[in-house]
């Protein structure tokens, strides 16, 4: 059973981790969440990314959302931007692909070219 006391413990752990990371630039992950995105599964993709980051205990990743990017036919879209690199956009992402993007791109730095869109 989840309790608020458990949240206090989690907070203490996160505060310690934050002290260690201070000053480093984050990798940015953006999921588009317009109506087109939500209807094609962006919510599921977004939560899969969170879970994968949490499960692997990855630090220094900022996940955010944005509205329709005008590429409705390629939804769900996931953008990854590593500090000092060009932004990479993945299209037609599902939960499984989202988890693989976290492992391949965020952990190992390998772009999955076949899934990217121009």
In the complex, what is the shortest distance from the CB of residue 21 to another protein, in angstroms, rounded to a whole number? 12
In the complex, the residues that contact another protein under the rule CB under 8 A are 1-2, 4, 6-8, 10-11, 13-15, 18, 31, 33-36, 38-39, 43-44, 46-47, 50-51, 53-54, 58, 61-65, 67-68, 70
Question: For residues 32 and 115, which CB has a smaller minimum distance to another protein in the complex?
Answer: 32
18 vs 117 by CB, closer to another protein: 18
**Shortest approach of another protein to residue 61 CB, angstroms?**
8
The string of DSSP letters for 14-70 reads: HHHHHHHHTTPPPEEEEEE-SHHHHHHTHHHHHHHHHHHHHHTT--SEEEEEE---S
CA distance 33 to 46: 9
Q: Which residues contact 112 (CB under 8 A, 6 or more apart)?
A: 90, 100, 101, 104, 105
Tell the smallest beta-carbon distance from residue 34 to another protein (Å). 7
């Amino acid at each position: 059973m989840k309790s608020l006391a458990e949240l206090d413990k989690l907070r203490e752990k996160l505060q310690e981790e934050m002290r260690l990371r201070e000053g480093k630039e984050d990798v940015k992950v953006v999921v588009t969440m317009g109506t087109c995105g939500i209807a094609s599964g962006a919510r599921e993709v977004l939560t899969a990314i969170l879970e994968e980051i949490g499960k692997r205990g990855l630090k220094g990743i900022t996940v955010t959302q944005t509205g329709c990017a005008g590429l409705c036919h390629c939804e769900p879209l996931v953008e990854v931007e590593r500090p000092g690199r060009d932004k990479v956009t993945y299209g037609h992402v599902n939960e499984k692909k989202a988890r693989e993007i976290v492992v391949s791109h965020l952990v190992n730095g390998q772009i999955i070219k076949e899934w990217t869109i121009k």
